[in-house]
Amino acid sequence: MAQDSNIQKGLVELLLRKGALKIAKGESDFFTFKSGRRSPNFINIGALSDGESSAFLGRAFAQAAMEGVESGKIGEFDYVFGPAYKGIPIAALTCSALFEKFGKNASLLYDRKEEKAYGDASADKAIVGAGAWRKGGKILLVDDVITTGKAKYDSLEKLKALEGFEIAGMVIAVDRMEKSGDAENVGPLTAVQTLEKELGIRTVSIITMHDIFSQVKGTLSPAVLSAWEQYWRKYCA
């Protein structure tokens, strides 16, 4: 399999160039998450919306998936599932790149926010692509960023509409490596660790917050560098 040793570095650079990785200039610019945690950085994969970014993301996810299978970190898969909404284009790009780069013809699946109640809704009223579902199929989950992992549980509930499915694993663009909880209460495990412990889902990330920090720390002001390190010690693994 063709290797691309620069995929991690390339993704960080792409996030910066396209404004998808935002870094606060000072404490007044920190980003507040749903958990109440105030972070000196924020990642929005949705900002990678042009052709260059889309092509790169497809290749990156496809490579991470195939390398994950080859190394045994995740299992073989027949389908690629992207949760609505940001996971949908990622899944489509991944399927395209898997075929173009590796000759693997995986089928696309994604969920509806609301079940279809008109037309021929029997096959895909909850999951688009379910009409081509084969019992016992193995599904690869793909998504952008994992923080708490709650959205992944919601997706699994919808996938129960597919008979005899098996989760081969998950590929995400960025693992923030944050522990569960909120601003004051911090759990012992990260979202990735919790998903594997509770549901047996093994995860491969293209990059982690550690990768990002290693690449950008030399550009940070002393105040932001200190804040980033404090956030890391309090909330991250």
Domains in the chain: ranges and CATH: 7-235 (3.40.50.2020)
pLDDT tens string 56-114: 999 999 999 999 999 999 999 999 999 988 899 999 999 999 999 999 999 999 987 66
Q: Which helix (H) or strand (E) holds 146?
A: strand 138-146
What's the predicted TM-score (pTM) here?
A: 0.90
Q: For helices 209-216 and 7-17, give the axis angle rounded to 10 degrees.
A: 70
CA 134-54-204 angle, to 5 degrees, is 60
CB atoms within 10 A of CB 2: 7
Q: Are 143 and 80 in contact (CB under 8 A)?
A: no
Q: Which residue has better confidence, 159 or 94?
A: 94
**Long-range contact set of residues 15-19: C-beta below 8 Å, sequence gap at least 24:** 15/43, 15/48, 15/212, 16/216, 18/47, 18/48, 18/50, 18/53, 19/47
Cis peptide, bond prior to residue 231, ω within 30 of zero = no
Q: Read off the amino acid at residue 52.
A: E
> Does residue 117 carry a pLDDT above 60?
no
